[in-house]
Chain A
Amino acid sequence: MIDAILLILESPFIQRAIIGALMIAVVASTSGSFLVFRGLSFMTAGVAHAALGGAALGLFLQASGIAPWFDPMLGALIFAVFVALVTGYAGETGIGEKMEVAVGVSFALSMSLAVFLMYYIPPVQVPSIWGYLVGDLLLLDNLDIVMLSGTALLLLITTILFNKEFIYVSVDMEGSTAHGLNARAYHYLMLITSALAIALATKAVGAILVYAILVAPAAASNELLSSVRGVLVAVFFIALISQFAGIALSLSVRTSPSAVAGILAALSYVIALQIKKMRDRVHIDEELEELLKMDANEAQHVHTESHAHDHEH
């Protein structure tokens, strides 16, 4: 048994999958949590699909011979930053709703471009665009891992250094600016680093599943925990365990590890909602009992006072 596990762990594609899963958990914990804090979880889906448009552009430029050096991943990163910039511009005043619309529009624009370019890309290459939609942890190559790790670490360092600023910008952009913080710079820094990491994570888990793995654990933790640090740590572990479970299952059953990870991560949110509901039910009993006690004490107090009052007369 142990020999079998060791044999599996020695295989390079499993090693890459494990490192990839670890890095995606870092991205989920940092970028996923902060996007949920800002009410901007939709940007994850927006950036992931925009990355697909960018990859299509890269494939087109390569296939048509216009720019053979243009790697599809470069296109994905450029488009991801484009979504971050449009979203950031719309949200400079700190209003979440405006940013949601901007994500939607830039997302639609990139996807339309991807579909448009698909007609001009040699049919044999079209499936590699679809690869971005579904992604696969087991198909990552060394370059993917280096890029994903680099960006995840950059995101981690940025978050460690500027977590207070990111929190302030998320909570009160106007107030932070009024107190002298360069809120605009932190606002863009947060969105751009997140976008780069999401675009790279998309290659590993796909545009559809990246939303489940990055956002659902953050939304789940935010429902149940009442400290920023608690949320970041919980997200890391939920994302990591979901992905490891996906990889482990894919070794014994014929299945996509990212899909299993996506299902588990999304379920974490459903479970969190249920736990919250149960917790509220328990709390309401306690609170009602407390109120009843307070009322009784007050009645007792009034009674004693009126008694003393009667006595005086």
Chain B
Amino acid sequence: MSAPLIEAENLAVRYPDGEIALHHVSFKVESPTFMAIIGPNGSGKSTLLKTILGLMKPMRGHVNLMGYDSEKEHSKIRRLVRYVPQRDRIGLNVPMKVKDVVLMGRLLKKPLPRLASEKDEMIARNALVHVAMEDYWERPFPELSGGQRQRVLVARALAGEGQVLMLDEPLAGTDMESQELIVEALDQYHRDNDVSVIMVTHDLNPIHTLVRDVLMLKNTVVGVGTPCDVMDPALVQKLYGPTAKIVEHSGHRYCLTRDTGADRHD
């Protein structure tokens, strides 16, 4: 049997400002899966991703990805992962073209001088087709709308190589069309390829029917299970407060909150 996708044991991490982001986090998720990490703003969702990638260090405990320890074996983890950071972490001062951004996903894992082959270009163009951005190949990336930029970043992940796709709030602040395209592209890609998807989101609803495992975080684990398991009134109120409600639609349970998804903790 292959190693679990993520295995955390008694994990505790601090934010850069000193506040405790995660404490007593223990859970295990098997691979391959489409997994969502949900929780309100400042609940440590992005911190968990960054800790898994070795970008932040645990104070206590440990977390493994595909059996590799986040601290000692982060170079092995980084070879496996394609990561999409929150959109506002992408600098817009550089006049990069859409193609450069998508190719970045492939070239970063190549040795110097990181030249793009015809195959790289073909894969990158194909990834853009998945998010309906193929006509933007030569367009300047900073001039795109927020939703379009997010679609290009998802294409960057799709074009890359590695068994695990990690996306930090890919749907935050995007228009309806972009949301649907991103969700559909990720679902399709997950089904067609042997890859796991880990997605941090403040809103489970757009991906409710695709996700297999959900981790509810509020600085510690509130719940782990299938989407319908965790859509329990007591659990969502524990996560989002007393105003959170569960509604049923087409045989699925959805959560209604007033969360905006803006998340900042530097």
Q: Closest B-chain residue to A95, C-beta based?
A: B266
| Cα-based distance from A174 to B53 in the complex (angstroms) | 10
Number of B residues near A (Cβ < 8 Å) is 35
Q: Closest B-chain residue to A164, C-beta based?
A: B114
A174 touches which of B55, B95, B112 (Cβ 8 Å): B55
Number of A residues near B (Cβ < 8 Å) is 31
Q: Are A93 and B16 in contact (CB under 8 A)?
A: yes
Q: How far is the CB of B223 from chain A (nearest CB, A)?
A: 27
Q: Are B94 and A228 in contact (CB under 8 A)?
A: yes
A226 contact set on B, CB distance < 8 A:
95, 97, 140, 143
| Cα-based distance from A181 to B91 in the complex (angstroms) | 17
Q: How far is the CB of B219 from chain A (nearest CB, A)?
A: 21
B97 contact set on A, CB distance < 8 A:
226-227
A225 contact set on B, CB distance < 8 A:
95
A180 contact set on B, CB distance < 8 A:
75, 78-79, 108-109
| Contact bitstring A169-194, B, C-beta under 8 A = 1, else 0 | 01110111111110000000000000
- Quick check: is B72 within 8 A (CB to CB) of the other chain? no
Q: How far is the CB of A70 from chain B (nearest CB, A)?
A: 38
B-facing residues in A146-203 (Cβ within 8 Å): 161, 164-165, 167-168, 170-172, 174-181
Pick from B81-89, B176-184, B236-244 the stretch touching chain A. B81-89
- Quick check: is A36 within 8 A (CB to CB) of the other chain? yes
| Cα-based distance from A299 to B169 in the complex (angstroms) | 37
Q: Closest B-chain residue to A229, C-beta based?
A: B95
Q: How far is the CB of B88 from chain A (nearest CB, A)?
A: 10
Q: How far is the CB of B216 from chain A (nearest CB, A)?
A: 24
- Quick check: is B44 within 8 A (CB to CB) of the other chain? no
Q: Are B81 and A175 in contact (CB under 8 A)?
A: no
Q: How far is the CB of B237 from chain A (nearest CB, A)?
A: 33
- Quick check: is B107 within 8 A (CB to CB) of the other chain? yes
| Contact bitstring A81-98, B, C-beta under 8 A = 1, else 0 | 000000000000111100
B40 contact set on A, CB distance < 8 A:
none
B93 touches which of A36, A161, A179 (Cβ 8 Å): A36
Q: Are A38 and B89 in contact (CB under 8 A)?
A: no
B91 touches which of A170, A228, A231 (Cβ 8 Å): A170
Q: Are A172 and B85 in contact (CB under 8 A)?
A: yes
| Cα-based distance from A170 to B50 in the complex (angstroms) | 19
A172 contact set on B, CB distance < 8 A:
85, 89-91, 104
Most buried by A among B50, B143, B166: B50
B-facing residues in A21-45 (Cβ within 8 Å): 36-39
- Quick check: is A110 within 8 A (CB to CB) of the other chain? no
B85 contact set on A, CB distance < 8 A:
172, 174-175, 178
A175 touches which of B79, B83, B113 (Cβ 8 Å): B83
Q: Are B83 and A37 in contact (CB under 8 A)?
A: no
- Quick check: is A258 within 8 A (CB to CB) of the other chain? no
- Quick check: is B105 within 8 A (CB to CB) of the other chain? yes
| Cα-based distance from A307 to B50 in the complex (angstroms) | 57
Ordered by A's residue number, 15 sampled pairs between the chains whose C-beta atoms are within 8 Å are A37-B91, A37-B94, A39-B91, A161-B112, A164-B113, A170-B91, A172-B90, A174-B50, A174-B55, A175-B84, A175-B89, A179-B160, A222-B93, A225-B95, A228-B96
User: Interface residues, chain A, CB within 8 Å of chain B?
Assistant: 36-39, 93-96, 161, 164-165, 167-168, 170-172, 174-181, 222, 225-228, 230-231
Given pairs A174-B55, A174-B83, A178-B78, 5 additional interface contacts (CB within 8 A): A37-B94, A93-B16, A164-B107, A171-B90, A179-B81
